[in-house]
Amino acid sequence: MAAFIIEWLTTGVRWLHVIAAVAWLGASFYFQGLARKFKRRAATPAEAEADVWEVRGLGFYQIAKYLAPPKAMPPPEELVWYRWQANTTWMSGFALLTLVYYVGAQRYLIDPAVLDVPAWAAIALSVSGLAATWLVYDALCRSPLVRNGRLLGVIAFLLLAALAYACSCVFSARGAFMQLGATMGTVMLANVFFFIIPTLRKVVAAIPAGQRIDPDLLTQYGQRSLHNNYLSLPVVFMMIGNHSPLAFATGYSWLIVSLIVLIGAAIRHFFNTMHATRRKLVWPWCTAAALFACVIGLSALGSRSASTVLAAGPPQAVRLAEIKPIVLARCSMCHAAQPVWPGISAPPKGVMLQTSEQILIHAADINREALLSSAMPPANLTGITDAERARIGQWILAGARAD
C-alpha cells in the first residue's frame, strides 16, 4: 500500500511540476520577447520610454515601458510580481527529486559500479552539491567577471561541464542526469529568489525617492536574467530527458549534457535576436543541428552494451528459449503483473516481461534500454553480465525471432 500511495503522490507532484514550469518559462519567454520589441512611436505615452502593440483573441493591447514611475502609477503593493511560478516549480521539482531519487536511492541514485555508498551519503552529496554549485555561481556573478559577460558565460559553462563529469563519477547514470537538471533549476530559482526579486524591490523603492541605483547591481541583474534565459531550454530537456536512456545511460552522458546546454543557448539566441531585430538568423539552427549530430554520435560511441554485442562477433542463431531465462532472472522482478521488487507497485511503464509473447512484443524496448544503453536494470541491481547482454544482442541482431 505504501508503494501504491508513493506512486500516486509522485504522479501528482510531477503534474504540479509541469504546470508550474510551463507557467514560469512561459512568462519568462513572453517577457524576454516583449523586452526586445519595444519602440518609441508617435502614440507612445509621453512619460514612457517605448511601447508595443499586441493582439490576442478579440483584444488589442498597448503595453508601455517606463524607466521612471509615471504620475498615474499605482502604489507598490499593487504591482504584479511574477515569482510564484518559479518558487512552485523548484519546490515541486525538489519534492519529485525526493520521492523518486532519494526515497528510491538504491534504484535510481546509486550505482555500486560507480561509487558504492549508502543511501544517506548519496542524498547528502546530492543536496550539498545543489547548495555548493549555487554558492560558486553566485560568487562568480559578484566578482569583477560580471563586467565581462562573455567571459563569465564561458567560465560558467566550463564549470557546468566539469560538474556534469563529476556527477557521472558519483551517481548512477540516471541520477547524474537528474542531478544536473536539478542543479540548473536551482541556480535559476536562486537567481530569482535571492537576487532578481530583491533587486527589483530595491529599484521600486529607490526610484520614487530619487536614490541612485548601484550600476554594478544593475549589471548583475542583467547577467543573471540572461543566464536564466539561456538555461531555460536545457532545463526543459533535462525534465523530459530522463525518459531517453540514449541521452543519460551512455559513457559520454556528461558531454551530451554539455552539448545540450550549447544547443539550447543557440536556439534561445535565435529567438532573442528575432524578437529584437526581426532578423531570422540561420547559423544558430545550423549550429544546433551540428551539435545534435555530435550528441547522436557520442551516444553511439558511449554505448558499452552495444560495444559488447559487436565484440561478440556476427549475429548467431540464438533462440528465444535461450533469452527468456535471462530476461526472467534480470528483468521480471519489476516487469511483472505483480512486481516483487521493494517499492515497485506496478510494472514500470506497463511493460511486462514474463512470457515469450511479452518478450517478443518488447524486443525493441529491451534493445533500447539494455543494449543501446545501460539504463536497465537500474544501477544493474540484478547483476546482468556483459555476456548476457551480448547474448540478447545477438538474438535481436538476428531478427528477434520466436523460434
CB atoms within 10 A of CB 198: 13
Cα–Cα dist 323/360, whole Å: 10
Phi, psi of 193, deg, nearest 5 = -75, -40
H or E element, residue 56: strand 50-56
- The tens place of each residue's pLDDT in the chain, 403 residues long, gives 676 788 888 889 989 999 998 888 888 888 877 877 888 887 788 778 888 888 887 788 888 887 776 777 777 677 777 778 889 999 999 999 999 899 989 888 999 889 999 999 999 999 999 999 999 999 999 888 888 888 999 999 999 999 999 999 999 989 999 999 999 999 999 999 999 888 888 887 777 667 777 788 888 888 898 899 899 999 989 888 878 888 888 889 999 999 999 999 999 999 888 887 888 999 999 999 999 999 999 988 877 555 555 555 555 677 888 888 888 888 888 888 888 877 777 888 888 888 888 888 888 888 888 888 888 888 888 888 888 888 888 888 877 887 7
Cα–Cα dist 257/219, whole Å: 28
**Domain coordinates in residue numbering, the chain:** 2-301, 305-397
**pTM of the shown model:** 0.85
Beta bridge partners of 53: 62
Strand pairing category for 59-65 and 50-56: antiparallel
Over its C-alpha atoms, the chain yields an Rg (Å, rounded) of 25
| Side chain identity at residue 86, one-letter code | A
Residue 24 cell numbers, joined: 514560469
Beta bridge partners of 140: none
Show Cβ contacts of residue 263 under 8 Å, excluding neighbours closer than 6 positions. Answer: 233, 234, 287, 288, 291, 292, 295
H or E element, residue 122: helix 119-141
Show Cβ contacts of residue 380 under 8 Å, excluding neighbours closer than 6 positions. Answer: 111, 113, 374
